Homo-oligomer: A and B are copies of this chain.
């Protein structure tokens, strides 16, 4: 709300009636006690139905609403969930990445449905205790971290003593925090099998293996190949932003490399590869098959439409929120692993 009291504030939600800034004000006007107001407006406790109606009508008339901050302070909660985007391995990624923004949108919907606000924060993990600081500031009742990035150590440390933490990312054995994520190893295998089925033999993997999600995709990809092919796969380290992945792909093709099958660790990378290849006269899918990962909405309208390993973002968001809220309620819950699915389109 606006600053109160002795501030230079001139702007206020100015209802037609007198200023009602607290339940005390309303109590005075209504001729009842503050606790009656509280009971009427929260619906908690027992109260004569007529009194309740009268108070509510009066509150409406004055445009009065309970102050959520004070309410939360009193209740020892904040009513908000923090959603953090660590940008450890790749500055500028994430929110420029359609995958993360889609996730964010679904999280917002899901949290709103459960009466929670979504407090968003991008983090450039300069200080090692960025997560600890956030948790300790007490601004939220729980934290969802989108992507492990290269911050595994930080997550481990905080996860050990703070339980209301759920992370979107790679599933690990014995992680001290909850995770929800796609089975990246299985996803990598799907890509490998598809490229093999297409008769591709000169294979390459484009991705940043600093982040465990991508490392797992690479691992699953390699494991699903016959040993002779596996040994020849080219691993191309690449950043996740459109600009840098495009630049890296261009350089790669310009250097004369000519794989006939490429697995990209994300759809953005996949689209960059297609675009860079086109510039060098490499025709997709005739001369080269490209498989992405994520199935962002744009994959469908890419030219050609991108074959990709689909992650169910909406389901992921649902599970993240469900798990976290159960944790906050004190329940004992387990991490979730989602199955990926191959979506065949024109790029392969």
What is the interface of chain A, defined by CB distance below 8 A to chain B? Answer: 1-5, 7-14, 63-70, 72-73, 76-78, 80, 94-96, 98, 100-102, 104-105, 108-109, 112, 117-122, 132-133, 135-141, 161-164, 241-243, 245-246, 268, 271-272, 274-275, 278, 297-298, 300-305, 327-330
For A122, give the chain B residue with the smallest CB separation: B108
For A305, give the chain B residue with the smallest CB separation: B275
CA distance A161 to B12 in the complex (A): 6
A5 to B: closest C-beta gap in Å = 6
Taking a contact as CB atoms under 8 Å apart, the answer to whether A78 and B1 are in contact is yes
Taking a contact as CB atoms under 8 Å apart, the answer to whether B298 and A278 are in contact is no
CA distance A73 to B57 in the complex (A): 27
A251 to B: closest C-beta gap in Å = 14
Partner of A117, one of B5, B98, B101, B139: B139
Taking a contact as CB atoms under 8 Å apart, the answer to whether A11 and B327 are in contact is yes
Partner of A112, one of B122, B132, B133: B122
Taking a contact as CB atoms under 8 Å apart, the answer to whether A161 and B109 are in contact is no
CA distance A8 to B164 in the complex (A): 13
Partner of A298, one of B12, B14, B242: B242
Taking a contact as CB atoms under 8 Å apart, the answer to whether B118 and A163 are in contact is no
CA distance A8 to B120 in the complex (A): 27
New A-B contacts (18) at CB < 8 Å, excluding given A2-B328, A108-B121: A1-B138, A1-B140, A2-B141, A5-B76, A9-B330, A11-B162, A11-B164, A65-B133, A68-B139, A69-B78, A69-B139, A95-B108, A96-B98, A104-B120, A117-B121, A242-B297, A242-B298, A278-B304
A305 to B: closest C-beta gap in Å = 7
Copies in the complex: 2
A225 to B: closest C-beta gap in Å = 28
A301 to B: closest C-beta gap in Å = 5
With A133-B65, A138-B65 already in contact, the answer to whether A119 and B80 are too (CB < 8 A) is: yes
Taking a contact as CB atoms under 8 Å apart, the answer to whether A105 and B95 are in contact is yes
For A93, give the chain B residue with the smallest CB separation: B105
Count chain B CB atoms within 10 A of each CB in A13, A67, A132 and give the residue with the most. Answer: A13
Taking a contact as CB atoms under 8 Å apart, the answer to whether B70 and A73 are in contact is yes
For A107, give the chain B residue with the smallest CB separation: B120
A151 to B: closest C-beta gap in Å = 18
For A94, give the chain B residue with the smallest CB separation: B105
CA distance A329 to B3 in the complex (A): 9
CA distance A135 to B12 in the complex (A): 10
A90 to B: closest C-beta gap in Å = 13
Q: Which chain B positions have C-beta within 8 A of A162?
A: 11-13
Can you report 17 A-B residue pairs in the complex whose CB atoms are below 8 A from each other? A1-B78, A1-B136, A7-B330, A11-B162, A13-B162, A69-B69, A69-B73, A95-B104, A96-B297, A101-B101, A105-B122, A112-B121, A117-B139, A271-B303, A275-B302, A278-B304, A298-B298
